[in-house]
Amino acid sequence: MRTEPTDKWIRGYVGTTLLVDSKDALLFWEQLRPVPAYAFPRADVRTDLLQPSATPRSGRSHYPPHGPVSAWYDVVTEGRVIEHAAWVRDDPKISDRIVLSWEPGVIDRWLEEDEEVIVHPRDPHARVEALASSRHVRVSLGGTVLADSHSPVLLFETGLPTRYYLPREDVRLDVLTPTTNRSACPYKGFAEEYWSLPGVEEGDNVAWSYAAPFRAVERIAGRIAFYNEVVDITVDGAEQIRPRSPFSTAANRPTS
């Protein structure tokens, strides 16, 4: 396990109840997990709102923990009992601290300083950049051309393939089918539109769009991107090798 202190002021709310208020949080990365979580000093957590869980949590999740746990806690507040909302990891680097879940439906609101954060803590070593370009980008899948554009916005995100956000008028929305899928990203915001290519293997929710992305990447607003891991892309006539990333596996791609 890797750990790193942070100077950020971290708060977490359940409803209107301030459950954690810390200026001494510790970032940690579980083994083989690309995103961090926070471990908090006990004094910074409303431990009076924690009660030992009746049973350990079964099964696995995209969210931590991804290692041995010495204690599980439910959060009890505002008439709610939120099971397995907190735990203590059996690792000497953070075993004296409490970890709170970022899984949807557990802690209602997270703040880093006075800005709300979604999905997971922002990694201090990650960077997201959106650049306008005039490259020629062509996207296809299963022999069907899905997009052809000379005015993409390239989004560079640490640890992930370059994404090509294309103008809607350059995307074949006549062959794509809208879905009800939604997703969220701590760096980009909420993707509230998804599209599938019916009848094609791996065509489910293959494209998405952010209507109102966060300021740092506002250039991608309303544009459509595709999973490079799934579709075939040529850039300036050069065929791109499908990259490997966590999203290469369908089970790791977001679903509503």
The mean per-residue pLDDT over the stretch 126-145 comes to: 96
pLDDT at 76 over 90: yes
pLDDT tens-place string over residues 154-197: 999 999 999 999 999 999 999 999 999 999 999 999 999 999 99
Least-confidence region, from 57-71, 135-149, 201-215, 241-255: 57-71
pLDDT at 59 over 70: no
Q: Name every residue whose Cβ is closer than 8 Å to that of residue 156 and which is 6 or more positions away in sequence.
A: 127, 128, 129, 130, 131, 162
Report the pLDDT value the prediction gives residue 34, as an integer from 0 to 100.
Answer: 83
What phi-psi label fits residue 147: left (phi over 0), alpha (psi between -120 and 50 degrees) or beta? Answer: beta
Report the pLDDT value the prediction gives residue 251, as an integer from 0 to 100.
Answer: 87
Residue 160 has what DSSP assignment?
S
Query: Which of 125, 124, 150 has the alpha carbon at shortest distance from 137?
Result: 150
What separation in angstroms does the CA of 215 have from each of 130, 165, 182, 220?
A: 11, 16, 20, 10
Q: What are phi and psi of 219, to 5 degrees?
A: -65, -20
Report the pLDDT value the prediction gives residue 37, as an integer from 0 to 100.
Answer: 95
Report the pLDDT value the prediction gives residue 140, as an integer from 0 to 100.
Answer: 97
Q: What are phi and psi of 158, to 5 degrees?
A: -50, 125
Query: Which of 14, 31, 6 has the alpha carbon at shortest distance from 100?
Result: 14
Residue linked to tokens 């019916």: 198
Report the pLDDT value the prediction gives residue 63, as an integer from 0 to 100.
Answer: 74
pTM tops 0.85, yes or no: yes
Q: Which domains does the chain have, with CATH numbers?
A: 2-117 (2.170.150.40), 128-252 (2.170.150.40)
Report the pLDDT value the prediction gives residue 88, as an integer from 0 to 100.
Answer: 97
Mean pLDDT of all residues belonging to the chain: 94
pLDDT at 32 over 80: no
- Helix ranges (DSSP H) in 87-166: none
pLDDT at 247 over 60: yes
CA distance 9 to 240: 42
Q: Per the structure block, which two tokens stand in for 100? A: 């709170």
* 37 beta partners: 28
Report the pLDDT value the prediction gives residue 33, as an integer from 0 to 100.
Answer: 80
Check: CB of residue 56 under 8 Å from CB of residue 41.
Answer: no
Question: What is the Cβ-side half-sphere exposure of residue 163, based on CA atoms within 13 angstroms?
Answer: 27
Check: CB of residue 118 under 8 Å from CB of residue 184.
Answer: yes
Q: Per the structure block, which two tokens stand in for 176? A: 């794509």
Report the pLDDT value the prediction gives residue 62, as an integer from 0 to 100.
Answer: 65
Which pLDDT band, with edges at 50, 70 and 90, does 65 fall under?
confident
Report the pLDDT value the prediction gives residue 245, as an integer from 0 to 100.
Answer: 92
* 73 beta partners: 52, 86
Report the share of the chain in percent with pLDDT over 70: 98
